A = this chain, B = another copy of it.
Amino acid sequence: MSHPTAAVIAVGNELLNGSIADTNTAEIARALQEVGIELLFSMAVRDEKSEIVNAVNLAIERASLTVVCGGIGPTKDDLTREAVAEALGVPLEFRPEAWEAIKARLKTRGVAEREDHKKQAMIPKGATPLKNPVGSALGAMVKKDDRILVMLPGVPKELKAMLGEVVATLPEEWKNPPKSVIRLRSFGLPESEIDRLLESLWNNPHLSLGLRVLSPRHTEIRIAGDSHATFQAKETASRLMGDHLYSTNGEELEEVLGRLLRQQGKSIATAESCTGGMISHTITNVPGSSDYMLEALVTYSNEAKEQLLGVSHKTLLDHGAVSRETAEERVKGLRRVSGADCCAAVTGIAGPGGGTPQKPVGLVFAGFYVDNKCWVREYRFSGSRLEIKQLTTMSVLNEIRLKLEKNP
């Protein structure tokens, strides 16, 4: 078999009644791509035995590997085991060693064992049980002729914890891992513009590209291929995307910024209004950020703005809270009270209310103070309240990143 392929069957009514979106398929696809196995199709089916049997038949007919996730819990709605056994034409059998593992797991969680838990130790004859390090539902792997079928739990955390073992257990001759995978991250460009800029890479038969939008104007570009081709792709993308490319190794913007602050021995502080604390929340998502993050002052009322940062009453009266002048006074005030090496102070209108023709929703001023230099940027964003908060947060982090990267 020169190009083994895979199919995913996600089982559960919750995937078909709008309760949740299926994230397991993408997780499985990423794990399989690491070893060069591509997904041919995926399906979501209801908790009904005949539906699962039909889907399994369709999948094993076409794909070398079928991954069925969900429906292996202890309740009567969990029918994946029965359906897989029926589709493969083998009986279910009780496996004492699986039952011991399930009992041990229940004990550590302080859950009393019940008769229905025993059901989880029934797996198709000839199958190998797969350990679940974070839950009680065991997985299983069955071979039939040159095909392999794997059953995994539907709980994303449990599935994720088991994928490594599944991939390791697959026949070595199926695997053809890409020589090199790089992850570029970009902020500031719309998806269509990235598409256009990277046209030559899309058309390169030696590369496989994937775009993932993380938040507005914030994108991850995954490039797989041999090491020479991906190295060239990285150079090309860096040249074409310039300052918009903030990392070439999958690092988050707040991680890049944290690394720069740490390398240069600098501290940071923020003063926020329209972002409501989101900039500080993002900076502090990085473990160890207390080494450089000093403080954030979220001043929502005008009174708090004046008191904490010493913005003059006259500036607020003459120019308003959302103005270039207020942003500048705020960042200077922040520098004074925090003593941080890098300071950013924002003021803006996140909407949906509060806009005027002169100062529309999405207008944001950000004052910066880095290395004894002070400057103000004006942004005009559009989108929902949360999108304007996200755009402001990313723009502020990116501005400081660029300034620090240009340091000798």
Interface residues of A, dominant DSSP: mixed
Chain A, range 266-286, C-beta contacts under 8 Å to B: 272, 275-281, 283-285
Q: Which residues of B contact A28 (CB under 8 A)?
A: 18
Residue of B nearest to A302 (CB): B290
Q: Which residues of B contact A17 (CB under 8 A)?
A: 29, 33, 38-39, 208, 210
Contact in complex: A33, B46 (CB < 8 Å) = no
Task: Count this chain's copies in the assembly.
Answer: 2
Task: Give the total of A residues in contact with B, Cβ under 8 Å.
Answer: 72
Contact in complex: A18, B27 (CB < 8 Å) = yes
The distance in angstroms between the C-alpha atoms of A279 and B300, with both chains bound, is: 14
The distance in angstroms between the C-alpha atoms of A284 and B200, with both chains bound, is: 43
Partner of A295, one of B14, B25, B55, B299: B299
Partner of A276, one of B19, B211, B284, B354: B284
The distance in angstroms between the C-alpha atoms of A288 and B289, with both chains bound, is: 31
The distance in angstroms between the C-alpha atoms of A14 and B191, with both chains bound, is: 13
**Chain B nearest CB, measured from A105 CB (Å):** 14
**Chain B nearest CB, measured from A309 CB (Å):** 11
**Residue among A30, A293, A300, A338 with most chain B CB within 10 A:** A300
Contact in complex: B211, A14 (CB < 8 Å) = yes
The distance in angstroms between the C-alpha atoms of A42 and B17, with both chains bound, is: 11
Q: Which residues of A contact B (CB under 8 A)?
A: 13-23, 25-30, 33, 38-46, 51, 55, 58, 208, 210-213, 222, 272, 275-281, 283-285, 287-290, 293-301, 303-304, 308, 338, 350-354, 385-386, 389
